Chains A and B, each alone.
Chain A
Amino acid sequence: MSEPLDVLSEALAGTDGFTELRYHDKSTRTVSVEKAKVEATGYRRRGGVGVRVLEGGRWGSASTSRLDVESVRKAAARARNAARANAGKTGEKLTELPSVELARGEFDQPGLEEAAGRTLEERIVMASELEAGMRKAGSRVSSASCSYNEIFEHKAIVTSDGARAAFRLVRPELRLQAVAERDGQLSSGFESVGATGGWDCLFRAGSGQSLAEKAARTAIDLLSARHPEGGKATVILAPSIVGLLVHEAIGHTTEADFVQAGSVAAGKLGTRVASELVTLVDSGSSEFYPGAGGTIPVDDEGVVAGRTTIIDAGILTSYLHNRQSAAKFGVTPTGNARAWEYSDEPLIRMRNTYLEPGSSTLEEMIASTEDGYLLDGPRNGQADATGEFMFAVQEARRIERGKLGELVRGVTISGIAFEVMSTVDAVSDTFRWDLGSGYCGKGQPAKVDAGGPYVRCRATIGGVQTG
């Protein structure tokens, strides 16, 4: 098989007008272990070339699973016909894409050789030992599971206006779940990590066994936890929750396609939307330390994936753009166009989204909280156009008179993101990426990461009402 860049470049030579050719080969290896049994291993490979053309102000797309010049040219012809099928329809036409520094070169990410050199047996042993570690952590643990994924990606992008870039990367992910049981009552503890890079990145914050023990301990402790009372509360959010909050409830509202549709961030550039302690960034790189799970050197339009400050000291300063939205807004594309697989069309997506650290220590923040909760470990979360969000929280610990107290279960938090961010009165001086095992959903999945420091603010706790 020819090198993808060479095939794409040769195929491009036979096309007219704006054409974007994107080779994407993705392979995934999986191992899952549950209740002392290796449940399954798997290998999945999907690859091909996605073609996008701009014809008469309309986009047309097509794809082929075959990497050869003839197949790619045929796909380009189908894409052009597809664009023409929309030619007579009403609506604004895209006449020109903005000029931008397009990537040229090869940008392989670290960890590839280490991951590729690992045997299947090594992966099975690692997952089996972690699953066993959870079961051994306490007699109350009734079952445990460990799943490990390794995603290898090879991309090459060539456009008729000058992009010619390629890169390969690997993203390992680990998920651990322990279930504890007492008198027929069940509870669960969940830990996960994900990175772009090798196992040194995956386990940068702690060993696999420490994660296994934590999942087991959480499941056991939650057996005796009670439900909290619902209502407005002071909360200290751990980096995992901060990451989810800034991704789901703020980041999405600043994606320029959503802004154009009327999200709550529309028309707010230059205005205060959060406390002055809040600075929010989305970056294609792994800031602070290597391995963030949403790292990409180049986006799927061939634009260098840079660093965008979305909120600067509480002021909304930028939206996230692809080339089309940047043309509409008269700004430079921010490198946020991403496609999940070769046949998907690039959409505006986040990469690594984070809040900048502040100057408080976590200890100071807890000590100065009279009544509240320390929240860690998001189970999942959603937000909408208004910025209203809801996240389930695995570990919620009471804070009373400046001291950490009992663990409570079944906690969710909710609020309007910009309002909640306006109540931020303390930000810790530490930083952690903590969403690397997560996927963002927006029609297509996307690997993202998010994180930040500890943040204190006010939000609504969903809990039990007594009457």
Chain B
Amino acid sequence: MFYREAGQFKTTYQADQAVFPILQDRIGLALILLVAFVGIPLTASDFFISVVMIPLLILALASIGLNILTGYTGLLSLGTGGFMGVGAFACYKLTTLYPGVNVIIWIFVSGFFATALGILFGLPSLRIKGFYLTVATLASQFFLDWSFIRIQWLTNYNTSGAIEVPTRTLFSYPVTGPNATPQLRYLVILAIVTLLTWFASNLVHGRIGRMWMAVRDMDLAAELIGIPLYRTKLLAFAISSYYCGVAGALMVFFWYGSAEPGVFNIDQSFTILFMVIIGGLGSLTGSFFGAALIYGLPIVMKIVLHALGINILPATVEHLTFMSVGALIVLVLIIEPLGLARLWQITKQKLRVWPFPY
């Protein structure tokens, strides 16, 4: 009853092609942005912001990156962790070499380093497809993993092989390092993620998104229409790696505050991939859903088990999480391969005609 489109006529093609054509959707989005930018910083606890919102946004950004490559273009990649690492280490080197430049600028720049490597490891996609390409992305993952440890220059020759994030400021307020407040870090991340999500949305709804999806669905037919397969795939690698690189940089600088090189290992790649699968391949909102679910699962589990009075070891929670996520993946693929995003879409469809069944 509330979600009707009746009375909302589109009189121009532009209006018809809007990303959120239904008024209620636009209102919903505005509300979400309002809550995110104003409501949460003002009212939420430090804990909530640090432990829930910040990780969620960063992981969603990485998921969007992987979604572009795997969900929209159909190139299954297990190299996400590596590219996140490239962004993180690039940012670290840049800001330690040139501390005068604002760290946020370096965050954006570090993505381009990830892009460069993304294109390099995407070059084989000219000749390699499907499973083979996935194995090739493993090459990039393991190689980058090794480089992060081996190339000591990256960590400024730190003996422990880890990096500590130095304090950096924005308008003389510390945004990174131990003195940065959660609220400030959150707002910086929120701004960056919102901007990049907007860009991603514009891309996937336009010509480039169609080219990616065409390559995913039937690359032979795509070629026929004149879509240059190789360039389209490389563009997907480039943009996807950019997003993962920025996410990695944000992760180290604004979330963890430090990084051991092992943090960008293949587990990280799988985590993001699972977020994409469960959230919805080929859906930007799905990336957010997936990040929320996978990241939130162990937290919710701990809370529920504690509430039930069951005292459980953190290691056990980890094991249970692995099991649940694994089972969830299989379940999602069986029930709704397009993930939570599709379930959300179906829910909205039902809402549109509610209280009628169809």
Partners in one complex: no
Point out residues on A near B: beta carbons under 8 Å: none
Point out residues on B near A: beta carbons under 8 Å: none
